[in-house]
Chains A and B, each alone.
Chain A
């Protein structure tokens, strides 16, 4: 009896091992714990990421009208790829398909019946040499053919690297005006884990290709996508690396339009709109992400936006930036190693884009494979799973509270402003008026209040607060500023504050909202209205945030010239004529603006229409910095 159980188990194991390439479906046979709620196998038959009905498939927005009016057929990923390859062979007689074991249909059945139907001149086996396959393809492409080469597993592509990097990618660049390139080349390769591929049959080396300018790297998530993207790749005049998540070959089944169609390269797709966090992924992990976000939305009441990158390089920056600007939070998920992966590139670009960076409310996170080789029995601990993704999503509140001190510092250094309840005046948040414990002092209303550093919006718990001690008399409204936008400030108003930062750490301030329309380009005027009392301190003008131009630093920290003064504290003195200091500061600013506008003026002259040395002075004169020319 015991023996029989054992045998049965053995048979089952063997059966699952034998699932690729030509027998039953490739299945991930790793078990999952009985009580698991999150890490359960992906149910491809219900996921909304696949078009289960003909109508859904035909409603795909990117399809041309004639395809939308056509028919569909149920296909899995390898059938959709087979369909695309057959279409390409019919459409263009320059298309050739070759690779290891391609003639009998390929180990994953993607080229089934193609050699039979199109002849062994156009669909054929190559010797077992990836560098040979690639070199052969590059030669064909350079002579105007449209080769579609297959590398049996992405894990086998490394011998072809020299050909791909030094020949295919650089061909156009080094040829220059002759116009020749290896653009006709498309290289297909299966990638990713299936549960038991281990070191040499489950790698995802996409980021090795995305580091190579000149190559287009594409990874489809579904049969419908694969057909359109592969046809685009074959028609594309740039060499394309087309990576197929092999676990989806049989697992992902959906309705695919029967007519030929293409889907745009280098264009991401928003699979599900959301408000609070953007998840960016590609290929198989999208299904995991979708399961995770469904749970996160259900458990936490948040709304998640899911984006399929589709083309991994050159990738669609606009769609990603736009989404992150909206949600303020972003997570990138991929199966490949986290180190120097796609996530690194995308998150670096997000933080490098000023407008997107300024909208970030949390650090960009990555959920990806660990920095290890693809393990065998540990695969399920390496590939991102629902619990991983969800954990990071629900971690948001925790993450935010962990970042509390950083927010506090940011707000204080950036002189964030807040309006007290019932007051129209803004109060500045700074270290100078901090009373500790997250409370701040408002000199105008002589009250203290609590400030929420995370939202930057709420001032609460206002209590009257009387300053005592010798510092009390130092509180003045000292500076009034009329400081028009030195930047193209657009339609926004900006608050600008001048400080006298005292050793006693009590600020004086005024804030003033400045409409940008009052912005002469080179005449900034600062007027300091000071009392005659001598003061000690340094003048601080805070950095100005312009959403268009980024942070502009005006922070100075100058010690005033020392002069004897009668201040009761006896702590040094203040220049008797603060207006002198104001003037000096003013002059410095003016010099800055002069330089700025001179630069702008020179730029302007280069661009404005000049007819026979006649400069259109009207246009020059009416130009304002920041305006579109």
Chain B
């Protein structure tokens, strides 16, 4: 028994060491995922933020086609990075609606003029209420809504080139 006990401190040290090394190699995931995935899209009614583009009224959305709901902001830098990928998705025939979080008409207009405009509709979410009701905790985030109006997927962070096929596949599955 005593002979075995001698090894205890070393074993404890090895355990702590392993924990620390693991934390360094694989830092813990700080992403907060929405618990709304798998649930119906909450009813959202947001006024338009830019002229000539309707706002968001999910009650009036025609069912039957899947779509993307992009949560973005003109003040968000990764949103600039994902703009070209969203344009690619639009060219592939995807309907992308958007929620502009804590934003102003002039700044959204300037953002769209500079980075391109992939959106069919943009709703004004000045007080983050729509974002909170979606369970979204940052910008940009992209929700995949299936043809029955159920949230089937959530992409957190900017959409990169390698994510485009994944989103297209998710949309195909959501038909």
Physical interaction between A and B: no
Which positions in B face A, CB cutoff 8 Å? none
